[in-house]
């Protein structure tokens, strides 16, 4: 064994060690940062998923004719929610007795809990065995496993007529 080469080999070994450690450190940092999920990835949760399903509850309907409100009528209601074609849209279908089936599209607001019906501006109402067409508006809100929807149809036919519906339901998971 040649002793003259020993110090030179040790000097080379000590000189390479900081570069080797730096290389391992960079490799470790690179692996850790690339293995983390990036924000805004394709695995985002669709907020509508929490509302999809069938809600069972009730409805209450009242009419106002010339400023006089009728006694409310009530019954059971089933409300079915499915995903709409756009990211903030939901499809709503109910089985409430009415001249025109309530099968509409709602658009969720920025909170993701409240919605407004966007695809119906006219609706029919039956008052005293006659059917009238009027301006239609509807809004709703989700709260945990519950839904509440309020609809109004108004027209002027020899006096002001209004039909107001309140629907609510609860979903069993």
* CATH number for the domain harbouring residue 68: 2.40.128
* C-alpha dist (Å) from residue 79 to 5, 12, 85: 87, 78, 19
Residue 163 within a domain: yes
**pLDDT at position 4 over 60:** no
What are 1's two structure tokens? 């064994």
- pLDDT of 129 above 60: yes
Strands 130-143 and 103-108, sheet pairing: unpaired
32 pLDDT above the threshold of 80: no
Structure confidence at residue 148 as a pLDDT band (50, 70, 90): very high
Mean pLDDT, residues 21-26: 69
Is residue 27 assigned to a domain? no
Rounded to two decimals, the pTM is: 0.72
Q: What is the pLDDT of residues 91-110, one digit of tens each?
A: 999 998 887 788 999 999 99
Structural domain of 138: 47-171
Please count the structural domains in the chain. 1
In a domain, 124, yes or no: yes
3-state per-residue secondary structure call for 37-94: CCCCCCCCCCHHHHHCEEEEEEEEEEEEECCEECCCEEEEEEEEEEECCCCCEEEEEE
99 in a structural domain: yes
């Amino acid at each position: 064994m040649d002793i003259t080469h020993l110090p030179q080999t040790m000097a080379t070994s000590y000189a390479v060690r900081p570069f080797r450690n730096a290389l391992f450190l960079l490799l470790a940092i690179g692996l850790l940062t690339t293995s983390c999920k990036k924000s805004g990835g394709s695995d985002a949760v669709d907020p509508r998923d929490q509302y999809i399903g069938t809600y069972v509850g009730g409805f209450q309907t009242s009419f106002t004719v010339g400023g006089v409100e009728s006694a409310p009528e009530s019954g059971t209601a089933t409300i079915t929610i499915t995903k709409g074609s756009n990211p903030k849209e939901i499809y709503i279908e109910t089985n409430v007795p009415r001249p025109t089936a309530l099968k509409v599209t709602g658009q969720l607001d920025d909170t993701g809990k409240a919605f407004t019906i966007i695809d119906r501006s006219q609706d029919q109402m039956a008052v005293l065995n006659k059917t009238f067409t009027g301006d239609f508006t509807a809004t709703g809100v989700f709260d945990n496993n519950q839904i509440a929807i309020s609809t109004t149809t108004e027209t002027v036919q020899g006096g002001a007529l209004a039909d107001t519906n309140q629907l609510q339901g609860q979903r069993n998971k």
